[in-house]
Amino acid sequence: MTLTLYQSVARITTVSSLMLACLLIAWIMPIATAHPPPPETGGMVFALSGDSGDQTLLREGQDAAAAGDRLVTSGGGVDLGEWISPELSAPLEITGTTAILNLYAMPVGIVLGVGMYIDVTVMIDGEEMTSGTSETIILNEPLMTNIPWTSEPFDIQGEVGQFLEVNVVAHIDGVGAAQMTWGEADAPAEFALMEWTLNHTAGSHVDDEGAAISVEFATPWNCTDIEDVSLQVHGPVADHDEEWPLVAEPGEITTEGSACSWHSEVGDFSGTMLYRWKIEMTDGEIFNLTGDLEMEAADSGAVSTPQVSLIGGLFGSTLVIVPLLAVAARRDYTNREWYERFSDAVEPESRPTSAIIVWLFIGIGIGLLAGPVIATLTVASLALLFWALDSPDSAHVPAEKSL
């Protein structure tokens, strides 16, 4: 009887102790059944890749990233290292960007306390662009847990030859340890610069063979981070402000090019065209760049064959009066009317034959190519010019010095 009573008391004491321990653990370590998903990245996305001294920001997507990890223990911050991008081969400039970093941690045993947080610094060639501290995330699940950090908006600018750098220091607020991991399929650690726009310049060309559209892109790595480019066109449209339709007509057309330069033959097209370039980046990001172009059909007659005006040639032939006016203007015209001087000038012995032939050809050429209006204006202008030479100062010019 005494033994049975003793056993009962022992069991009660044991159960009570276990319950008290559970309550104590629950009080020390808050329970979280799930964590929110990591924030979505976009714009310019890098996978965290590599380990030790070879940690890189990779633009080729998560699948190409090399795995790395670092053990973080309580008692102070642990520097996870510095991830460095490829060298900039073109300027990088973003106004009002937001940086996002996702890192994953796996608890090693039980982590008692508030949880884990990270300090992040974003730099260009060692010069700080922005920095900050993430929220503290509870690590009481035996699962990979994402620890995200989002910066305040900031401006970033890098020149050719510089590097984009990201440094991370991890902290455990409590007691325990966790393994920080990146480059793993179940831990897609990423860094992103939001609000980055793929700059482009679109143009068009129309000739006898049809219309063509071209585009030039600009990226910080001279377009080596562009995976593929395709083009859809829609039109002609009445207003260039029309929204992009659900179904484009004529739709997708064949595109050729590489790196930053791409073009496509549109065919027989004139009017206002809406276009949408679809660009797939090596990091998996997809850009749809939409705009409009005004395209006019080529006038092959105006471009390749000059217009010939027979009437213009007839009017232009009257340029022969120019040398005759010159002869008349230089003769002694004392007590003569202008028509008498002109009749003298056209006498065979005084007519400047070579000058007449030259001016005849010039006049006919101008008239044929430029038309009757231009020919008439030319004749009138030159006639007035030469007639102006007939001034009182030239009244007594000796006849032997005339043409």
**What per-residue confidence (pLDDT) applies to 141?**
72
Per-residue pLDDT band at 401 (split at 50, 70, 90): very low
The SS3 assignment for 393 reads helix
Per-residue pLDDT band at 165 (split at 50, 70, 90): very high
- The dihedral built from the CA positions of residue 130, 135, 140 and 143, taken in this order, carries a sign that is negative
Distances (CA, A) of 151 to 83, 115, 197, 403: 17, 20, 19, 90
d(CA 138, CA 30): 8
**What per-residue confidence (pLDDT) applies to 15?**
46
Q: Which CATH architecture has domain 30-193?
A: Sandwich (2.60)
Torsion angle defined by CA atoms of residues 335, 338, 344 and 347, in that order, rounded to the nearest 10 degrees: 180
Contacts of 63 (CB under 8 A, 6+ apart): none
**What per-residue confidence (pLDDT) applies to 324?**
55
Chain-centroid distance, C-alpha 218? 5
Per-residue pLDDT band at 358 (split at 50, 70, 90): low
Distances (CA, A) of 307 to 7, 362, 375: 121, 17, 14
Residue 371: how many other CB atoms lie within 10 Å: 18
pLDDT digit string, tens, across residues 266-283: 777 778 888 899 999 998
pLDDT digit string, tens, across residues 60-118: 888 899 999 999 998 888 999 999 999 999 999 999 999 999 999 999 888 888 889 99
Structure tokens that stand for 255 in this block: 């595109």
88-92, 98-102, 164-168, 198-202, range with the lowest pLDDT: 198-202
**What per-residue confidence (pLDDT) applies to 303?**
38
The SS3 assignment for 211 reads strand
Structure tokens that stand for 222 in this block: 């001279």
Backbone angles phi, psi at 115, to 5 degrees: 145, -145
Proportion of the chain above pLDDT 70, given as a percent: 64
Q: Which of 202, 230, 219, 212 is nearest to 260 (CA)?
A: 219
d(CA 402, CA 346): 13
- Average confidence (pLDDT) over 7-30: 49
- Average pLDDT, whole number, for the chain? 76
Q: Are strands 68-73 and 210-218 parallel, antiparallel or unpaired?
A: unpaired
Q: Which residues pair with 204 in a beta bridge?
A: 213
Q: Which CATH architecture has domain 199-301?
A: Sandwich (2.60)
Helix axes 338-345, 321-330, angle to 10 degrees: 110
Residue 150: how many other CB atoms lie within 10 Å: 16
pLDDT over 60 at 31, yes or no: no
Domain boundaries, the chain: 30-193, 199-301, 306-401
pLDDT over 70 at 137, yes or no: yes
d(CA 338, CA 33): 115
d(CA 141, CA 147): 13
**Structural contact between residues 282 and 223, judged by C-beta atoms closer than 8 angstroms:** no
